[in-house]
Amino acid sequence: MGQISGLVPSRFLTLLAHLVIVITIFWTRDINIQANLPLNFDPEDFEKEESKLVIALSITLCLFLIELIGFFSGVTMFNSTQSLFSIAVHCSATVSLAFFVFEGWEASTYWYIFTFCSVLPATTEIIMLITVFVLKKKSF
């Protein structure tokens, strides 16, 4: 039981670290968008790239909501497999996104980080939630 109790705060902290860095990207998105554009870009190009990044960040926040619902509902809070997977993915997302912010990576690289570090854990969370609630209904 000691191992599982150590996973819960670690998972919560990595989720929050990932969430904080995503919110930070909302504030500093101009640098990453300009890295994606040529030196002489039009305002329309900037707005187009900005809307793509804002859409990706908004979807990321929605996926965070799904994960936090699953976590705080207790469905996956004490599942050690889900916790370890979530810790690994969100920790790697935090490090990757820190480089994304500080190094001024192109905005298109966010989609790769988004796919592996936001979509995958949210998908497993949804599968776990559906599985638990379907099995719960069948037991009654």
Q: Which domain holds residue 134?
A: 2-139
pLDDT digits (tens, 9 = 90+) for 84-121: 999 999 999 999 999 999 888 888 899 999 999 999 99
pLDDT digits (tens, 9 = 90+) for 78-87: 888 999 999 9
The structure tokens listed for 124 are 């497993």
Q: Helix 43-72 and helix 120-139: axis angle, to 10°?
A: 30
- pTM, entire model: 0.87
Total domains present in the chain: 1
Q: Residue 28: name the closest of 111, 102, 109, 117 by CA.
A: 102
